[in-house]
Amino acid sequence: MKIRRELNRQLYRQKAYGFENRLSCFDKAVLDAILGGETKTLKRLISSERLSLSAGMRNLSKNELRNEKYHFMITAAFLAESGIDVGLSHDEAYMITDIYSRKADRATGREDLQNLLEDMCLDFAERIREIKKEDVTSIHIRKCIAHIYEDLSGDLSTKGLADFTKLNPSYLSKLFKQETGKTIKAYVTAAKMDTAQNLLRYSDLSCSEIATSLGYCSQSAFTYAFRLFTGITPKQYRG
In a domain, 62, yes or no: yes
For residues 114 and 30, membership in a common domain is answered with yes
Residue 77 included in any domain? yes
Per-residue pLDDT at 201: 83
181 and 104 share one domain:
no
Digit-by-digit pLDDT tens for the chain (239 residues) are 555 665 555 555 444 444 444 455 677 889 899 999 999 999 999 998 888 876 556 778 888 899 889 889 988 998 998 888 887 877 788 888 989 999 999 999 989 999 999 999 999 998 888 777 666 568 888 888 888 888 899 999 999 999 999 999 999 999 999 988 899 999 999 999 988 988 898 788 899 999 999 999 999 999 999 999 999 999 999 97
Same domain, 105 and 169: no
Pair 127, 82 in one domain: yes
Residue 190's nearest CA partner among 161, 173, 214 is: 214
CB 81 within 8 A of CB 35: no
Structural domain contains residue 28? yes
**How many residues are listed for the chain in this entry?**
239
pLDDT of residue 18: 46
In this structure, are 92 and 145 located in the same domain?
no
For residue 199, the model assigns a pLDDT of 87
CB-neighbour burial class of residue 170 (10 A; exposed 0-12, middle 13-18, buried 19+)? exposed
Q: Cβ distance 143 to 166 under 8 Å?
A: no
CA dist., res. 163 & res. 8, Å (int) = 57
127 and 28 in a single domain? The answer is yes
88 phi and psi, to 5 degrees?
Answer: -65, 145
Q: Is residue 4 part of a domain?
A: no
Same domain, 85 and 175: no
DSSP letter for 21, please.
-
> What's the confidence (pLDDT) of residue 20?
46
Whether 5 is covered by a domain: the verdict is no
The pLDDT value given to residue 23: 54
Strands, DSSP E only, in 5-112? none
Residue 19's pLDDT is: 41
Last residue of a domain, one of 82, 115, 134: 134
* Count of other CB atoms within 10 angstroms of residue 79: 26
- How many structural domains is the chain composed of? 2
Both 147 and 70 in one domain: the answer is no
**Which of 90, 108, 134 marks a domain boundary?**
134
Range of the domain at 143: 139-238
